[in-house]
Structure 1
Amino acid sequence: MKKTSLLLAAMSFLLILQTGCAARQKEHDAHAGPAVVRELVKTSASWNKKTLPAYPGGQPEITILHIAIPAGTRLKTHTHPVINAGVLLSGQLTVVAANGEKLLLKAGDPIVELVDTEHYGVNEGDEPAEIIVFYAGTSGAPITLSAPE
């Protein structure tokens, strides 16, 4: 009788363990199949290694922009009061911070942009630079501010 109870308890434990493991495996298999998932960037800092600020209070608002910068174009100096990140789809782009620090992006490169730091982008290439940028802002608040001239 004691062996039977012990055997039943062990089998029950194994069944529960197997069910729990199967459920956890399903979480990790969310991207299984033909999809290929590749993390481009995971960070708490912008490209200049400065720690990102806390998210602001208020109603969150996500903005996604597709920006096309013609060859030979320099964007105006500006700041972003919100955290934003993007991926350069095509061309090349150099981002220049107010202190002269530079980041050269090639097609496929990710960027976590500077927050509250003046900077500009310049396309020194021969083809348009296209970038998708995601802004984690707050409803009604600006995502880009022009620098004083």
Structure 2
Amino acid sequence: MKSLLFLIILGISEVAVTGQLHSMLGLSSLIGLYVITTAIGGILLFLRYPEFKRSMKASKNLGKKFKNKISGKDHSLSSDQLKKLPPLFFVARYAIALGLVIAPGIVSDLVGVVMILPFITSYFIDRSVNKAIAKAGLQP
């Protein structure tokens, strides 16, 4: 539900910003601004790509273990397994940020770039892991 609300707000704000920028800058400048923001976002994503690649490798091995664990009768994960989740969360955040940067629009580019900033990423990943540990009833 939160994701749907986020997408609705993002879409509405994208339309509002695009309309205002079109009236202020004109079409050719607006297209140039789209290209510039997408290029900057692409460069920042490229700079974070080595971390994405490492996280992807780590998450593949971890994903197989979780799949086997969840396919059984016991759906709970241990505290050690939950602490190994950051690579999975980083891969998911990177994929969402990539989609937002590729999508045309200035607001989506800014949101995508903010999502992959190192201090923002580490904060939200740590928060997500701590929530998962608390939800499982384990101590962080």
Q: TM-score range by the shorter chain?
A: under 0.3
Q: Which has the higher helix share?
A: 2
Q: TM-score, normalised by structure 1?
A: 0.25
Larger Rg: 1
